Structure 1
């Protein structure tokens, strides 16, 4: 066990935004909220999966909604902690440990805010290893674990308790309620015992996020040194470097959807690239050639600082480096690909691992 302080928050916010693949909330907002909670209540204990006892109750705490909405409607401390309090009321017992459901600039830090206020430890793990846009896109769903009961709250003081039959119905019901709550909500789902958590989560993701953030902060302004260290850590690939020339972005069905177009520069001079997103970056192409697709991770980084740019923060003219990393092996199973692969998002092609795509691309340019 160790403790998360303000310095760690700075690094985790950056690294989690990289792993969040453009989604999971804005890292600037997340770190402000988490730092304030730690200043107010003190550092938060971070425990590993190995330290988790079989009988401990672990609950995920997160925010749901379109990233563009959350920027304009910042969640309060009361809103973030309310679903946990409601869940304890429903279950008739106290929660022992909280955890992030996904990696992201806000969703990795939501549990830390709650943990600081409630005096609880945070589990160094999540259920995606990245961010995905829908509630059933978690390793708990892959392993057949129940999301029910789900508690949801908003800034108006509304609270809702749901008992969905499975993860798919959890997404459908939560999404409709989130839209009615103004496009964003706070929630708790998957209240599970340690014995089930241990075999299902993706471990050490907060520690990994902190390490990535440290690389980027240390390498800031040093000719993309931080990006290179990060790529080595995550066994990743540099897809292209360029300038954003066009963005289509709209709010639809509770998601931020769209695409961004890029004009290559430096080694990619004269080439055209496109990224498609639904809260998170899902597909990257050079012309019609596929470079990477979900469930592998795509991150858009500022070319000067190496800091991640989320889908709602992309701007015309920004100079960026786009990178990709292999996803966790759980997402490469048949059920994993069926749940989060490109065909689920209605792209008309099958999933190919990013390392295979990059090998093919390299062989074509030799």
Structure 2
């Protein structure tokens, strides 16, 4: 196999790029940095392989964290639960899992599979389920290949507490979401856990994943690192790294933040002031919807990614946006969704999710107009 070894610089670039591309979710950077430290202490390589470099018959398993991202900022480092969930999935599925699949793109959930790959000496697959972070399992492109069944959920025990795991029979994504979210609310999990599911052969991933998503995040992180080093425009750097597919939706200081944690989610509403209008961004772990007070229609909505970048080029997850960040100047960036996320049934599930946060209309879609981005409602110039 022609693998690529991710050194410390590449892992930190992955963290930075994934924090941006996660669209506010995928876990906080503060929870991911100790995992990179742990990987470096292990002294074992993280080997990244493209789908084309792996045998079609090789079995891989997905591993990720799940729950309220804010919980990851005050719990123990996630160094044992992901590996435990992954190895238990191999036993539960009866498959010899020989590669690790990221569940999504996000600060913690891009580093967790790299950690498991290093711990077990397995290749990390350069793909994931969305190219962004997702609020629910039902939105993942892996569902085109198979349901998330069985699913293993494990806790990261704090000192003096017991390790807990659950092996779940989850015939549908809805079953998986309901059971997992219910369990992570219990005292044993404390609003967060590690899960492993989707035992899949590499050949099943054609049309059921976003290929190259890990490399894409590394590329974005490297672009931001270089821009910061030479003092160049971070937005231009990200735009170039994404082949031009990025639009600035709003820029200005954060003026208000409201958050609550529950049901395995962080729910938030962030307001920033952009020139003559306020912009409200509504999130359920991930940013789902952005409104301007002077527009009748939303600026942008999921499945397009709505990402935070500070004026000095630092990506932010929603877990990092608190009352203490009021006054911070940020850019709200729009990144078009992978076309897989607009296929049914995923598209309908995003529509249902937007309805849950109070939007029942036709969501705008970021479209490339040849020389600029527009939306289906032409609300972005």
User: Which category describes the TM-score, using the shorter chain as reference length?
Assistant: over 0.9
Residues 276/222 of structure 1: CA separation in 2 closer, same or farther (3 Å cut): farther
Question: What does 1:324-335 correspond to in 2, within 5 Å?
Answer: 324-335=334-345
Give the CA deviation at 1:345.
Answer: 4.5
2:278 to 269, 272, 285: 272
Aligned residue for 2:303? 295
Equivalent residue, structure 2, for 1:203: 211
Q: Paired residue for 1:21?
A: 23
Please give the per-residue CA displacement for 1:258-278, whole angstroms capped at 9, x wherever unaligned. Answer: 2011122xxxx2321111111
Gap change, CA 1:288 and 1:276, over 3 Å in 2: farther
Asked if residue 321 in structure 1 is aligned to residue 328 in structure 2, the reply is no
Partners of 1:67 and 1:312 within 8 A in 2: yes
8 Å Cα contact 1:291-1:358 kept in structure 2: no
- Residues 276 and 362 of structure 1: CA distance in aligned 2, closer, same or farther (over 3 Å): closer
Residue 69 of structure 1 corresponds to 71
Deviation string, structure 1 residues 127-168 (Cα, Å, up to 9, x no partner): 111001111110022x15121111111123111000111111
Q: How does 1:117-156 map to 2 (within 5 A)?
A: 117-141=119-143, 143=144, 145-154=146-155, 155=157, 156=162
Moved more, 55-64 or 143-152: 143-152
Instruction: Measure, in 2, the Cα distance between the counterparts of 1:257 and 1:344.
Output: 12
Q: Tell me the number of residue pairs that the alignment of Structure 1 and Structure 2 aligns.
A: 357
In structure 2, the gaps of 5 or more residues are 368-373
For residue 361 of structure 1, what is the aligned residue in structure 2? 379
Q: CA deviation at 1:39?
A: 3.2
Q: Quote the Cα distance in structure 2 between the aligned partners of 1:222 and 1:291.
A: 32
Q: Residues 206-221 of structure 1: matches in 2 within 5 Å?
A: 206-220=214-228
Secondary structure, counterpart of 1:86 in structure 2: helix
- Superposed, which structure 2 residues align to 1:45-64 within 5 Å? 45-64=47-66
Matches of 1:44 and 1:223 in 2, distance apart?
30
Cα deviations across residues 44-102 of structure 1 (Å, max 9, x unaligned)? Answer: 11100111212111101100110111111133322221111212222344310001110
Aligned to 1:171: 177
Q: TM-score, normalised by structure 1?
A: 0.93
Distance 1:344-1:331 versus aligned 2 partners, 3 A rule: farther
Which secondary structure does the structure 2 equivalent of 1:77 belong to? coil
Corresponding position of 1:310? 317
Q: For the Cα contact (< 8 Å) 1:54–1:194, is it kept in 2? A: yes
Q: Deviations over 1:221-244 (max 9, x none)?
A: 766522212123331101111011
Using the TM superposition, name which of 190-199 and 18-27 deviates more.
Answer: 190-199
SS state at 1:317 partner? coil
Counterpart CA distance in 2 for 1:334 and 1:170 is 19
Q: Which ranges of 4 or more aligned residues in structure 1 deviate by more than 3 Å?
A: 221-224, 343-346
